[in-house]
């Protein structure tokens, strides 16, 4: 895989605004994520973090501004095109199918990237079987990298919650994204699981040449993983900087970290 260029932005948010009725959920938010960066996006509940994710993945329309992926404005692309462009995400609530195996859950994550259509097995059965084998091999490679390889045949409902959170990330990687959006991936994990999850994420970022935008309430994890952090508050960008700069910013302390300005 080609390593991302850190001198070029993979994602650019340019003066983005979103309004629902008379309520502005995002107000002139601008930031950028460089190639290969693991950038944190934090803020109190209701700050607009998930709203921004939903705009990037076209679940929501922006009211103003642009969202650029690899230099292309994607604010008008079709929702189903987002994955094929190279953007994948996880959600706060797990979307794992419990009655399916781990491997089958992974294969679902590839359905937007498959080259064959519904009728391919009828007119080209050999090609369809070859594509299935390639897809399964790729999914097993991801599972092995995320230390889930031995669980490929297990039913997802039999797995503990912490393992399911890893599977959610693994399934997002199945689509071969260049940009990975993680929405509170450590929520509900024990501190030991959080630390192991952070190690796994760092390995995956390097192994799969990812650029990552991370929404997370566990500030210890954010400070440990992220080279840069963007803080949202009441729909606007409050601050942006290194972990050390964010930790010492009085506006952030007042709005998010629980101190007083």
- The residue range of the domain holding 150 is 99-176
Domain shared by 50 and 127, yes or no: no
Domain shared by 181 and 154, yes or no: no
Mark which of 145, 176, 207 sits at the end of a domain: 176
- Does the residue 92 lie in any domain? no
Global pTM value = 0.90
- Does the residue 188 lie in any domain? yes
Domain shared by 109 and 170, yes or no: yes
Mark which of 176, 199, 222 sits at the end of a domain: 176
Higher pLDDT, 255 or 205: 205
| Cα–Cα nearest to 64, from 21, 14, 22, 23 | 14
For residue 261, the model assigns a pLDDT of 39
The domain that contains 33 carries what CATH number? 3.40.50.300
- Does the residue 35 lie in any domain? yes
Q: By the 8 A CB rule, do 213 and 181 touch?
A: yes
Calpha distance 261→255 (Å, rounded): 9
Give the confidence band of 4 by pLDDT, cuts at 50, 70, 90: confident
- Does the residue 93 lie in any domain? no
Calpha distance 178→169 (Å, rounded): 14
Calpha distance 145→125 (Å, rounded): 30
Mark which of 176, 200, 229 sits at the end of a domain: 176
Handedness of CA 107, 109, 110, 112 (dihedral sign): positive
For residue 1, the model assigns a pLDDT of 62
């Amino acid at each position: 895989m080609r390593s991302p260029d850190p001198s070029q932005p993979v994602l650019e948010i340019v003066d983005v605004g979103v309004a629902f009725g008379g309520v502005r959920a995002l107000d002139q938010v601008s930031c950028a994520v460089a190639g290969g960066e693991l950038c944190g996006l934090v803020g109190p509940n209701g700050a607009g973090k998930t709203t921004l994710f939903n705009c990037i993945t076209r679940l929501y329309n922006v009211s103003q501004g642009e969202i650029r992926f690899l230099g292309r404005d994607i604010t008008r692309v079709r929702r189903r095109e987002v994955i094929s462009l190279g953007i994948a995400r996880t959600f706060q609530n797990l979307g794992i199918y419990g009655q399916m195996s781990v491997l089958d859950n992974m294969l679902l994550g590839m359905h937007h990237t498959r080259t064959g259509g519904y009728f391919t097995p009828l007119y080209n059965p050999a090609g369809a079987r070859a594509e299935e084998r390639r897809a399964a091999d790729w999914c097993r490679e991801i599972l092995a990298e995320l230390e889930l390889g031995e669980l490929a045949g297990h039913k997802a409902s039999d797995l503990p919650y912490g393992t399911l959170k890893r599977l959610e990330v693994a399934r997002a990687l199945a689509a071969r994204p260049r940009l990975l959006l993680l929405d509170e991936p450590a929520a509900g994990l024990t501190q030991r699981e959080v630390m192991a999850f952070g190690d796994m994420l760092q390995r995956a970022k390097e192994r799969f040449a990812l650029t990552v935008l991370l929404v997370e309430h566990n500030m210890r994890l954010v400070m440990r993983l992220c080279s840069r952090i963007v803080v949202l508050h009441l729909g606007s960008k409050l601050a942006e900087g290194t972990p050390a700069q964010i930790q010492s910013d009085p506006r952030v302390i007042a709005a998010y970290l629980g101190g007083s300005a």
